A and B are shown apart, each in its own frame.
Chain A
Amino acid sequence: MRAILSQRATTGLHLLYVVLVSCAAPLFLGGLLSDIAYARTYEIQWLNFADWLIAGAMVFTGVALAWSLVEVVLDRGRSRAGLIGLGILVATFLVGLLNSLTHARDAWGTMPAGLILSLVTTALAIAAIWFAVAQARTGAVQ
């Protein structure tokens, strides 16, 4: 009975983590699409959009990272998927930070590094969702 209760609590905690990670990915994707639009048109407003979208994505990534640390403390026995997911989230945060700083350069100074980093962070953020959901499923099956 106690085991079931703690598992339920863990699943509830984890759902919030899934939500936070899921918020970051579309924002990173928006940043990537804006970068592509800027690279194709040289229209600076796209770059402004990319700056804010990436900044927003970083907020969710940061909170998700903090949340997953809370999870680690509350729930020591993490599944394999959970550990890989945490590693990917850390990578998303670090590459995302690099991308934010790259996007703080002026005009075309952002390119091409900014676009490549946007591509990488978007892929990482989507992978982070994958593992977050996978962990939730294994958690439910146990």
Chain B
Amino acid sequence: MRNLRLLPLVATAALLTACGGGEEAQHYGPNPTLPEPERGLLPSMKISEPGPWGQQRPLVPAGYTVTAIATNLAIPRQTLVLPNGDILVAEGRGGHAPKLRPKDIIAGMIKSKGTTSVKSGNRLTLLRDANGDGVYELRTVFADKLDAPYGLALVGDQLYVANQGALVRFAYTPGQTQAGAPPVKVTDLPSHINHHWTKSLAASPDGRFLYVGIGSNSNITERGMPAEADRAMVWQIDAASGAHRPFATGLRNPTALAIQPGTGQLWAVVNERDELGPNLVPDYLTFVRDGGFYGWPYSYWGQNVDNRVRPQDPQKVATAIRPDYSLGAHVAALGVAFSNPAMGAAFADGVFVGEHGSWNRSQPSGYKVVFVPFQNGRPAGPPRDVVTGFLGADGKARGRPVGVTVDPRGALIVADDLSNTIWRVTPPRPAGA
């Protein structure tokens, strides 16, 4: 066991030697530099206090346009573009984790300064741009009285919604602006405590299965191991029967799922553990292997043992898979969407990732939407900024990106749960078109 714990050290040392040393720490990509865990007496917390947008707008690449297509929403998280171009927005806030320790009370008070004070919407809002001029003139409540809805997926005429405690479905007919009937429950989802309450959702290309991402019930098991039953994993749910099985485990908080076009493979962005230092542990983007174990809670970034977990499990650690691509520590990736050529040549092949932004790092990270370029179906190259300016030069947060969705007609839809806005980013249109 001792040797096993030394392994990552040896590997890191070998890597440093190979690089010749002196190189700048690599935070992104397949081989991030992993510093030694550190934790001072007080965990670093830096809340970027909210500020108004005023006349400012998010910044987008040259030639691209950004517009707010809906404002004054009730905590928009994830969006879905329907076949007729309508956009569904899931709004809400969940979780009912009790404050167990003095720390929970203090940290809760500090963290709440960085989020919206709007009441949870618990609804789906539909936005429509009937004439394609980029103005979403129609806005209706598609369904309400939901329970912190988050993940959305359309399979044929069934609209699936992942509430914080159950997967439900609505019958959907194209052009509908309001659900015709209350939702039907497909299956309950783990919701005891719900420390990480968001239930991300994707459907297999053939529509037979639904994948639901279920976050852990703690940062690193501090609510006890029994609370982690059925947590930190992706469920595969049979759409017809509602039966489920764990598809992949050890994923601390898989906050967004997406199916890769062409391959049909499941990808996820995952938020990793806190309180190991400003550059540890990287949040990541990864292809999710059937049956794969990704480390949480026993280890991170493959087989780097987390000493805070007792009892340890060296056998599990030995099977832990290294994720594909580091997005950087504490960026809080909450959205992922595969792009297509309609987004412009620079963003034709790859994924967009919405980064909510850090709260536990003295130098804020995230607070933007990035693009991870792909080649041959795999991430290739450093991430590029796509939508920035959410964190002002004055240190105030104007917005915080969550879900990202690509409209096949060429637009990136970004949900912002701080300014309660849906942003739409469009590529330059050819002249005269």
Map CB proximity to A onto B306-336 as digits: 1 under 8 Å, 0 otherwise: 0111110000000000000000000000000
Given A106-B275, A108-B310, verify A44-B102 contact (CB < 8 Å): no
* Closest chain A residue to B307, Cβ basis: A108
For A107, the chain B residues whose CB sits under 8 A away are 220-222, 308-310
Q: Is the pair B102, A104 in contact by a Cβ cutoff of 8 Å?
A: yes
Q: Is the CB of B308 within 8 A of A106?
A: yes
For the complex, give the distance between the alpha carbons of A44 and B193 in Å: 15
Is B279 an interface residue, CB under 8 A from the partner?
Answer: no
Among residues 84 to 118 in chain A, which have CB atoms less than 8 Å away from a CB atom of chain B? 98, 100-102, 104-109
> Across the interface, which residues of A come within 8 angstroms of B219, CB to CB?
106
A31 CA to B100 CA, complexed, in Å: 16
Contact string against A for B residues 36-50, beta-carbon threshold 8 Å, 1 for contact and 0 otherwise: 000101110000000
Q: B224 near A52 (CB under 8 angstroms)? A: no
B40: nearest chain-A partner, CB-CB: A101
Inter-chain contacts of A104 with B (CB < 8 A): 43, 101-103
Structural contact, B102 and A109, CB atoms closer than 8 A: no
Across the interface, which residues of A come within 8 angstroms of B275, CB to CB?
105-106, 109
Kindly provide the distance from the CB of A30 to the nearest chain B CB, expressed in whole angstroms.
15
Residue ID in chain B nearest A50 by CB atoms = B101
Q: What is the bound-complex CA distance between A98 and B100, given in angstroms?
A: 20
Q: Are B41 and A98 in contact (CB under 8 A)?
A: yes
Q: Chain B, 17-56, contact with A by CB distance < 8 Å: what is the 0/1 string?
A: 0000000000000000000000101110000000000000
Q: Encode contact with B along A28-45: 1 for CB under 8 Å, 0 otherwise.
A: 000000000000001111
Q: Does A7 make an interface contact (CB < 8 A)?
A: no
Q: In angstroms, how far is the closest chain A Cβ from the Cβ of B276?
A: 9
Answer yes or no: B405 CB below 8 A from chain A CBs. no
Do B218 and A106 have beta carbons less than 8 Å apart? yes
The CA of A55 and the CA of B101, in the complex, are separated in Å by 10
Does residue B223 face the partner (Cβ distance < 8 Å to A)? yes
- What residues of A have a CB within 8 angstroms of the CB of B311 in the complex? 42
The 4 tightest CB contacts between A and B, nearest first, are: A44-B224, A109-B308, A106-B222, A104-B103
Can you give 18 contacting A-B residue pairs, CB < 8 Å? A44-B221, A44-B224, A44-B225, A45-B224, A47-B222, A51-B103, A52-B101, A101-B41, A101-B42, A104-B102, A106-B221, A106-B308, A107-B222, A107-B308, A107-B309, A108-B307, A108-B309, A108-B310
